[in-house]
Amino acid sequence: MRKTKSVRTVTALMLSMSVAAIMADIGRASAEINADKGFRWRDGAEVYSKVCSYCHEGQVGPRLFGRELPPEYIRAIVRNGNRAMPPFRSSEIDDESLAKLAEYIQRN
């Protein structure tokens, strides 16, 4: 009983720290966009490594690679979020980059 409770607390703590870290990253990315209107994500791999891998290669979210998740499903989750998964707006990940990202994840 006791153990389960502390594991849950640690997980919740890790998740809130991750969200804070990601929000700080996105803040920086937005600042970059404002400072330089020409900012663009290079490709799906860059978005994945800078935004998604933090949680999805760590202990926070489920693994996404090797599961052949449909790109439409990935795009919907990224735009809308789902429970502990935060949503991302098109000012953070534009539609074209999101399409590339979804294909990239499906391929891997």
Residues acting as catalytic residues: 84-85
The answer to whether 75 and 104 have CB atoms below 8 angstroms apart is no
Q: Does residue 84 bind ligand HEC (CB under 6 A)?
A: yes
Query: CA-CA distance, 56 to 68, in Å (whole number)?
Result: 15
3-state secondary structure of 82: strand
Q: With respect to ligand HEC, which residue has the nearer C-beta, 23 or 31?
A: 23
Contacts from 34-41 at CB under 8 Å and sequence distance 24+? 40/94, 40/97, 41/93, 41/94, 41/97, 41/100, 41/101
**Is position 13 an interface residue for ligand HEC (rule: CB under 6 A)?**
no
Nearest CB to ligand HEC, comparing residues 74 and 100: 74
Q: Is 45 in the site for ligand HEC (CB under 6 A)?
A: no
Residues near ligand HEC (CB under 6 A): 18-19, 22, 47, 51-52, 54-56, 60-62, 64, 69, 74, 77-78, 82-86, 88, 93, 101, 105
